[in-house]
Every structure is written in structure tokens, then in C-alpha cells.
Structure 1
Amino acid sequence: MLQAALRSGEAHRACVFETFARRLPDGRRYGVLAGTGRLLEALESFRFGDAELRFLRDANVVDRQTLDWLEGYRFSGQISGYAEGECYFPQSPVLVVESTFAEGVVLETLALSILNHDTAIASAASRMTSAAGDRPCIEMGSRRTHEESAVAAARAAYVAGFEATSNLEAGRRYGVPTTGTAAHAFTLLYDSEREAFTAQVESLGKGTTLLVDTYDVRAAVDLAVEIAGPELGAVRLDSGDLLIQAKEVRAQLDAAGNSGTRIIVTSDLDEYAIAALAAGPVSGYGVGTSLVTGSGAPTASMVYKLVQRENAAGEFEGVAKKSKDKVSVGGRKWALRRLTDRGVAQAEVIGIGELPANDGNDRPLMVGLVRDGEVIDHQDIHEGRARHLASRTELPRAATQLSRGEPVIPTVYEKD
């Protein structure tokens, strides 16, 4: 596309590209935008160096004119969109890129690969943290996905309410709090469970979390209490009927005087399993496979479409795809969330060409991210985390339901 546009002379027309999802994953009530900060970080170093240009030349992918243009590529346009952690709905313009066609079109895969992955993880994570209530969720999915996806997933999960991750690279790179427990391999290393627990407590202190289901849960809990006493931090259950076991272990711990020892559960948890455990004496959840695969929706299905371009007269005009089942809406978009007098979201209102009319208590959703090619808002994950909680809280109560349903608020268009 770039080569043909450069050769025809149309590559430098001013254009507007938008990223949005035509629909939410089947049955979901809302989505959660994540990955914006990672995208902006990637944009700052998005260049075509000697190695990339050599490959494109040797493989005869593009011509000399295109290689020369790519060699000097620097994004110089404007980007705005929803802030990271914000809830979104069908057609929400979560990212708006204003640039020449050439500068904008080469960002499509970069934007979609990051936003589709991270948004899928954050959307699943939000359902899990909502189901967990005030009990913390820990991201533990690094062994179930690509090594770089694992780092991104930990970041996205934190934005959507997870308390910590077992992925240390996410802690180093993004400041996500880290935590972890011993695996069964540690217990199996020793000649006895007593030796394993003793070694862990002597090294990490009595506040550590002991894994108690390698052999016999009841015997292991007794042993853990004997070795660490009432200061034992937590025990972890990773198999069996977690609800029944949690109740039995809670009674056992309380009878031994360990009322302060927490019970952490793991083992292929998803939002439904977490909700089912709400009635149990569980202190926290470790979530892996389901989280890092989007809990049944591994992509947000976002698209990146040209919606406006400069015409031959130098004026902007909306353009849109009209093919069956994939219709898009032309024109540059703006969005706000319409709220009731009590601050409850009523609708996602999208204006074409200008910001929709605010009736006094509505909340504008678009923020500036890049100005003249320079990132002006890097989207701090801690701010994104607080933003997500506030955004989710303003949704109608039906948003927290795990049963299949339609988006919890409608999307409404207002044209200029």
C-alpha cells in the first residue's frame, strides 16, 4: 500500500485513522482498554534501521523509493484516544491517528497487535477482579503464554485490578508489584515435607506461603502450623474441590490458633470459579491460564480504519467501508460518556466531526497522547489502574453480571 501510494503521489494526503471494536466478545457487557502506554513506548522507537531495510531490499518487498522513505520514517502526526484503563463499548474510538496516509498506515499492525492483546487480557482481568470483590487476585500465567506476552499480560492485569504478578520482568520493566509461592517441585526435592517447610520458613520467614497439597492437605496444614506457629502467613491450595477444602482448612487453622493465616487458592481459576468461591473463606486467588488467554476471548477484535481524508480541494471528507457485516462510520470521532444525575453511565455518545453536546455532567473520554510526533502522555499504569476502577464503578450494576448479555450501555452517534 505504501509503495503504491508513494508512486501515485497520494501518500501524503492528510488522513485520520481510528481504532475501534465493532462489537464486544460474545456475551460481554463491557471491555477495558489496555496497552496504550506500551504502544506509545513502542512508537518512540519505531524506526526502520539498516537490518530491516536490508531485508526489505534483499527480499524485494518494496522498491527504492519506498526504502528511502522508510529510512527517514519518524511519526510526526497527532494521536488521541481513550486513556488506559478506561472501559469501552462497540465503536468506541479508543485510538485516533491524524497524519499523512503514509505515516499512519504503517502503524496499523503495531497498534493492533498491542491493543488487541492487552485489551483482551485487561477485559478478562476486570471480570475476575469484579468477581473477587475485595479479595486480591495475583497474576500467575507466565508459563502459559509467549515470554513477551507474559510481561504484557501482567501489566494489563494490574491495570484492571490485579494486585501483583509472579512475573519479575513485569516488576522490573513496569513497576507491577511482584509476589509468588513455592511450587510442588520444592517440596518434592526434600526427603520429607517437614524438611521442605522448615527450609522455606527458615529462609523466607514465618510470613511465607506454604503449599499444602503435595501429599495430604490436613497433615500438611498441621505440619505448617507446627513449624511456623500463629505467624504463618498463608497456605496455598492448588487442587481438588477448592471450596470444600478451603472451609476445612479454615476450620483447622482457626482451631490451631492461626486465625490470621490466609488461604490462597490456585488451579485453573477463571471469573466463574472465582465467583463460585465467594462463599468460601478464601483470602486471595492466583490466576494463570484463563487470564493470559483472555478467558475465552484472546483478542479484542479491534480494527484500524481510515475514516477521513483530505480531498483534491484540500477539504476533509469522511470515508467508510461498506462491505457486508463490516460497515464502518466515516468522519473523525469524539466521545463522551453520558451520565445520570447520580453519576451512572447511560450511553457511549460519539460525535462525528466534533465533541458531542455535554448536558452538564457527562464525561469526555478523549485525551491527547501525541502532539507533532512527540509523546505528551505516557499513560502511567498506576494512574490507569485507578482510572479503571473509577470507570467500572460508574457503569450500571448489570456490568458486574457474569451471565451472557448485551453491552451494558448503548452506543449513540451524534453528527455535526
Structure 2
Amino acid sequence: MIILRTVKNISSLNLVASVLLFVTAILAAVIANSPFAPMYQEFLMHELHLRIGSFNLFSHAGHPLRMIEFINDCLMTVFFFAVGLEIKRELLVGELSSFRKAALPFVAACGGMLVPVIIYSLLVVSGTPETRGMAIPMATDIAFSLGVLSLLGSRVPLSLKIFLTAFAVVDDIGGILVIAIFYSSEVSYGYLVVAAILYCFLYYMGRLGVTQKIFFLFFGVIIWYLFLQSGIHSTISGVILAFVIPARPRLDAGKYIKRIRDIMSTFPVTKSDNIVLSNEQIAILKQVERASDRVISPLQSLEDNLHGMVNFVILPLFAFANAGVVFSGGGSIVGDVSIAVAVGLLLGKFIGIFSFTWLSIKSGLTSMPAGMNWKNIAGVSLLGGIGFTVSLFIANLSFAGDYPELLNQAKFGVLFGTIVAGILGYIVLSIVLPKVQKK
């Protein structure tokens, strides 16, 4: 009962976050095509400074970061840090913690990444700048896809939600690897060596029992700056940082329960209607609070703390800055890139996820999870085409600066493919999932 209530609460938050993300993206497109477009562009080009003496933390190669760069290179590092924490948790104790659990979503995700890339490459001319966007349709947006799934409420079996979440997490791993390998400029290895030393330092400090979150975040900011100057995309620093965050609490649950009982046994009881606590009572309750903090691992605590900021601040701000498709002006929004991205998300993700899942189960490598069938797998495969966040992010890495027309096409392809995939997935699942019995 507690698990079901938790899943329901998470689904509700995902739905709210998805709606906010969608509204923000639409708002960005409207403003980008309105008389306020110059103000919108001025906002994105505004330079930022965080100076300590003559040193500007928000700078790259001696030039201050603009707002669009701050959002994509700094705030999105926090997003990828949160993704890294989720991946680490899934690898340790979640749906990717064993071969039996991870096999089916891993195979599905591989198909969902490979087939869209193949389809994209077939729809653009080889050797042209358009091929730079080959990785755009390979991503699945976890928050958006789970948000659509949550619209169907209790009709969705828990195994289907777990399957979608797990293959989307594997999808994120693939996207992170692509960003690290294919979207890096000239590498300055000196910065990376210093960053590697700091990662090792943080790892061993965690092994020695250091669990203060501020300690890891302080050095995380330094590492982010080193990556920003190194030529490796700075968001990768957040993912790697997540993997050195301690996953074990300082106090295990058994000792925690015993300590709480010992502490509360000394709690002085006063009249039940007394609304003012004594200093002694406050001191004892603070002991309980400190013990409670020590029983939650830094990994879980940070993941929980970042959830609201990522979903309700960072991602909407990212959508606002990056989803501003211009429908008029230089070039057409419908071209090879927009078609390839949209078809990759709609057709490529569906074929890849469904066919690889089918092959995995029919070959005997994995078994069909309880509560799932081919009809609802087809619906979830369509939801896999909701690419939004990471797809827009890769689109910027592919075309921003040198190819603004292609970037505009890519944005349109992502938005069109995401919206249609979400609608089709919802329609299919609403048809195939069992109806709720009315009492």
C-alpha cells in the first residue's frame, strides 16, 4: 500500500512537471515569433559574471558566459548530476542492479537508440552538416513520458512504469556517452588531470566516512569549471560527480531505531496542550534530527533535494531558452533535419524499442514481466519517442552557432515528434489497458 501511494505521488509530480515543461516550451515558441522576440534574444545573449577579484567563475576561455550558455553548460550540469544520481541508485539497488532485472530494459533501450540513428542517417545526405544531428532522436525524456503515462492512473500496471523508467535511464546513459565522445572540442588534458585527481580525492574521502553534502558540492563546482575549460562538455562533470557521492549512510537503520528509542526515552513529558517546548525538549529533538540526517545517504538525500529544483526550475528554464522555434525568417522549419528528427522519434523509437523487446523475449534471453503484454509494450514504445530535454540539448550541441537554420529545424522536429509520440502513445494505451471497474 505504501509503495503504491509513493508511486502515485511520484506520478502526480511527473505530470505537473511535464505540463509545466510543455507550457514553457510553447511559451518560448510564441515569444520567439512575437514582437517580444528581440527581448527574448537579448535575454539569451545577456552576459553573466560571478567575480572573485579579477576571476570570473562564469567564463570560458576568458569570455563571460551568456545566459543561453549558462543554462546549457551550468544549470544543465545540475540536471545531469541528478540523472547520474538516479543511474547510480538504479545500478546499486534498482531495476538495473542485476542482469535479470536490467536485461529487458537494456535491450529495449539499445534498440531505441540504434534504430532512430539509422533512420536519421538514411534521411539526410551523407557528408553534409545535417549528419551532425544524428544522435538527436535517440533520447527519451523520463519526466515527460512518465507524465503522459500517469494520465492513465491506476490502469497502468506497475511493471510497465518500471520498464519505461528503466529503459529511459539506460537511454540517458547512452546519451551521456554520446555527448562525452562526439560533442567535445579540442581537449586540454591539464584541466582533466586536475579534475581526475579531485574525483579520486572525493571518492576516498567518501570511503573514509565523509558524508557532508556541501563538501562534495564545493569540489563539484571546481570540477565543473575545470571541465568547462577542458573541451569536454561540462555536463559530463556532473554525471561523474554523482558516481563518487557516497551511497551508504553513516548510520544504518537498525542502529538508528535503537538510538531514537534511547533518545526519546529521556524526553521530558509535559502537558499535551503545551505549545511551547522547553530548551531540554528542543535539544533532544535536535538529536533526533541529526540522527535522522545520518541515516539517509548523501546520494538519496541529494537526489531528493534536487528533484524539485531540476523539474520545476532548471528544466522549464532550459525549455524556455531552447524551444524557441522561429516559424518565419531565414530558411524553412521543415527540411531534412526536422523530418529526420521527427521520423526518428516517432518511427525509429517505436520500431527499435518494440522489435528489440520482441527479439529479447522470443529468443528466451528475457521473459515477459507480469502485467505486460505486446499491446501495452507497443504503447510504451510510442512514448519512448518523447525526446524533448536531451534531444533539444543534443540539437544545440550539434548545430548552435554555425548552423542556426538547421538548429531551428531540429527544434521543430523534436517538438513535433515529441507531441505526436505522446498523443499516439496515450491513445494506444488508453485503448489497450484494462478499464477501471466502477463500483
TM-score by length of 1: 0.25
Q: Which one has a larger percent helix, Structure 1 or Structure 2?
A: 2
TM-score by length of 2: 0.24
Q: Which one has a larger percent strand, Structure 1 or Structure 2?
A: 1
Larger Rg: 1
